[in-house]
Amino acid sequence: MRFYHHLLQSQREAFAGLLVLLLPVFFPRLFSPLGHASPSLFSEWNAPKPKHLPLLKGALQRQPSGRQQSELWSPLADQGWKPCLKSASSSVLPKKSQGYIQVFLDGGLNQQRMGICDAVAVAKILNATLVIPHFEVNPVWQDSSSFSEIFDVDHFIDVLKDEISIVKDLPKEYSWSTREYYATAIRATRIKTAPVHASANWYLENVLPVLQSYGIAAIAPFSHRLAFDNLPMDIQRLRCKVNFKALAFVPHIRELGEVLVNRLRRPAGKSALGDNQFLRETTDDGKKWGDGKFVVLHLRFDKDMAAHSACDFGGGKAEKMALAKYRQVIWQGRVMNSQFTDEELRSQGRCPLTPEEIGLLLAALGLDNSTRLYLASHKVYGGEARIQALRNLFPLMEDKKSLASEEERAKIEGKASLLAAVDYYVSMHSDIFISASPGNMHNALVGHRTYENLKTIRPSMALLGQLLLNKSIEWSKFQQAVLEGHKNRQGQIRLRKEKQSIYTYPAPDCMCHV
C-alpha cells in the first residue's frame, strides 16, 4: 500500500513539474514582460490592483490643453549659465610623474562614473599617472564589464592629455600590482584607509609618501573618496571635464542608443500599437504637440528599492510577508525609516513612486496617450501586472527590447552596466527626463542635463505623497496641485550647496554665469 502511495505522490509531483514547464508554452504573454524592465511572473504572484482607481479613471479621460502641452514640450529657456571648463591657469603636465595611481571601483555604472572623475582629480592633485580604473564585479547584477567595454579609452586619454598622464596598463616592473595581489594579504602599496569625502591634503599626506617610496599606490575601496568642498577651482572643473567630455561610451553603445532615439522620434507604422485600431485612431488624428519627441522615465522600482523603503505598496498581507522576509535576508533587519508608519513615510516623501503613481504624475503634468515613453529601468517589482496601470495611461511605452532586435542587443544582453549605458545615452537625447525616485542614475542625469540645459522633471515626493494619501481628492484638484507644485522643478538651475555633489549640481563650479 505504501508503495502505491509513493507512486501516486511521484506522479503528482511529476505532473506539477510538467505543468510548470508547459505554462510558458501555453500562456507566453504571462512570461514575456516589457523588455528587461519586468521580472519573471514567478517572482511575485500577488501583484496588487491599482491603489488610486478614481484618479486613474480621471487620468484616462484627461484632455490636456494646447497651452499646457506647448509649455511642457518647449525646451528650457536660456537661464544665463553656460559650461565653463577651461582651467583658470594654463594646465601644464609635470615634467616628472610621482608614480602610478590605481583605483578599484565598485557599484553600478553611475557610481563608477563618479569614481573615475574623482580618480582623475586625485591623480592631478598628486601629479601622478593614472592607470585606467579597474571595475569590481558588481555583487548585485554580477556584471564583470571593464572600463574599456563601457567607455572609449582612447577618447578618454585624448581629452585629458593636457591635464594628466593616463596609461592603459602598468609597465612590466609593476605588473605584480593586481587585484588578486591585494586580495591575499596586507600590502604596503595598498591604501584602504581613505575616508569618505577625503580632502586634497589627506591625499598629499597619506598617499604621496607611498608613491614616492614605491612608485605606485593602489586605492581600494575608492567610492566617494574625494570631498566636494574646499578644492581648487581647477580640480573642480577637471572633474566636470571628465564627467561631461571625457567619458564617452564605446561606439557600439552609442550606435545602439542612436538607433533607439531615431525609432522613438520616427516610429514605424505599428510599433507598440499592434492591431489595436482604437489606439491608432486616438494617436494618429492630426498633429500632436509631442510629434517627434519622447520622454524617458527611469522607473527605479525594483525589489531592493521596495524592501529597503519600509513602505506599503498595496500588495496586502502576502506582499508584506514577502518583503519582510526579503528585508531580513538582504538587510539583516536594518531597514530605512522603519520606525515610521506608512502614512508618515509617504507624507515626508520617503516612499518610492510606483509605476501607477508616476503615471498619474506624468498625466497631471499634461502628457497625453500619444506620448512616446521610453522606460529606462532594471527589474520592476511586481512584474507586468504592476506596470499595467502605467501602460494603460501611456500605451506607446517602449524599452530596449521592444525597440531593438535580439541581434541588435546581442553585445549588451545580460550585462547590467552596458544596459544602463544605453539607457543613459537615450536619456541624454530625450526631450524630457524624469526619474520616479532619487538615486545614482537620477543624480547623474540631473547633473548632466543641467550642464546641457535640458528639461528634467524632479518629482516633489512629499507633495505627491500627501496628495495620494487623500483618497477623496478629485482628478481636477490633483492635477492643479501637481502643476502648481512642479512649476519650478523642470530643469531650472539649482546652485550647489555645501557638501552637495558636483556631479548633480555642476553650477557654479563648472558653469559660468553670463
In a domain, 273, yes or no: no
Q: Which residue segment(s) compose the domain that 357 sits in?
A: 55-79+252-266+291-301+352-513
Q: Are residues 113 and 167 in the same domain?
A: yes
CB–CB of 103/220 below 8 Å? yes
The cell numbers describing 117, all together, are: 572623475
Q: What are phi and psi of 83, to 5 degrees?
A: -55, 140
The DSSP output letter for 246 is I
User: What letter does residue 273 receive in the DSSP assignment?
Assistant: G
Q: Please check whether residues 365 and 222 belong to one and the same domain.
A: no
Return the bridge partners of 101, or none.
Answer: 130, 217
Q: Does pLDDT of 238 surpass 90? A: yes
Whether 101 contacts 131, CB under 8 Å: yes
Instruction: Name the residue among 310, 304, 455 with its Cα closest to residue 381.
Output: 304
- H or E element, residue 125: helix 109-126
Confidence of residue 138 (pLDDT cuts 50, 70, 90): confident
Name the pTM for this structure: 0.86
Least-confidence region, from 118-127, 334-343, 356-365, 388-397:
334-343
Residue 323 located in a structural domain: no
In this predicted model, what pLDDT tens digit does every residue of 272-308 receive, in sequence order? 434 333 333 334 443 566 689 999 999 988 777 777 7
In a domain, 190, yes or no: yes
Average pLDDT over residues 62-76: 91
Residue 276 resides in a domain: no
Alpha-carbon distance of 71 to 443, in angstroms, equals: 24
Indicate whether 128 and 262 sit together in one domain: no
Per-residue pLDDT tens over the stretch 33-60? 333 333 333 344 455 788 999 999 999 9
Residue 467 in any domain: the answer is yes
Residues 419, 432, single domain; the answer is yes
Asked whether residue 262 falls in the same domain as residue 123, the answer is no
Residues 242 and 256 in one domain: no
| 3-class SS letters over 312-347 | CCCCHHHHHHHHHHHHHHHHCCCCCCCCCCHHHHHH
Which segments of 383-472 does DSSP mark as H helices, in order? 383-393, 400-403, 406-409, 416-428, 440-451, 461-469
Separation between Cα atoms, residue 491 and residue 458, nearest integer Å: 8
Higher pLDDT, 497 or 288: 497
- Cis bond leading into 221, ω under 30°? yes
Decide if 87 is inside a domain. Answer: no
Closest by Cα among 207, 202, 210 to 231: 202
162 has a pLDDT exceeding 50: yes
Same domain, 69 and 180: no
Do 399 and 448 fall within a single domain?
Answer: yes
Q: Is 380 left (phi over 0), alpha (psi -120 to 50) or beta?
A: beta
Contacts of 97 (CB under 8 A, 6+ apart): 127, 128, 129, 165
Give me the pLDDT at residue 310, please: 78
pLDDT value at position 334? 62
The answer to whether residues 448 and 408 belong to one domain is yes
Q: Is residue 142 part of a domain?
A: yes
Q: What is the pLDDT of residues 352-388, one digit of tens each?
A: 899 999 999 999 999 999 999 999 986 788 888 889 9
User: H or E element: which one contains 457?
Assistant: strand 456-457
Any residues with CB less than 8 A from the CB of 507 and at least 6 apart, and which? 81, 450, 493, 494, 495, 496
Q: Could you say which of 220, 248, 276 is where a domain stops?
A: 248
Which has the minimum average pLDDT: 115-129, 262-276, 354-368, 462-476?
Answer: 262-276
Res. 17: pLDDT tops 60: no
Check whether residue 491 and residue 375 sit in a common domain: yes
Model pLDDT, residue 311: 84
Average pLDDT, the chain: 85
Residue 168 and residue 262 share a domain: no
DSSP string, 191-204: E--PPTT--HHHHH
Counting the structural domains of the chain, the total is 2
Express as a percent the part of the chain with pLDDT over 90. 65
- CA-nearest of 442, 434, 456, 294 to 362 is 434
pLDDT in tens, 332-341: 656 655 678 8
pLDDT digits (tens, 9 = 90+) for 267-280: 875 444 343 333 33
| Cell output for 325 | 522576509
User: Is residue 226 a contact partner of residue 118, using CB atoms and an 8 Å limit?
Assistant: yes
> Are 64 and 205 members of one domain?
no
Contact at 8 Å (CB) between 211 and 98? yes
Distance between start and end Cα atoms, the chain: 91
Alpha carbons 493 and 511: distance in angstroms, whole number: 10
Cell 571628465 sits on residue: 242
* pLDDT tens-digit map of 195-209: 999 999 999 999 999
Per DSSP, what are the bridge partners of residue 486? none
Q: Which CA distances in Å does 407 have to 33, 34, 411? A: 19, 18, 8
Please report, for the domain that includes residue 212, its CATH number.
3.40.50
Residues 6+ apart with CB under 8 A from 440: 107, 108, 110, 111, 114
On the question of pLDDT at 74 being above 60, the answer is yes
Burial class (CB in 10 A: 0-12, 13-18, 19+), 7: exposed
> Does residue 119 lie in a domain region?
yes
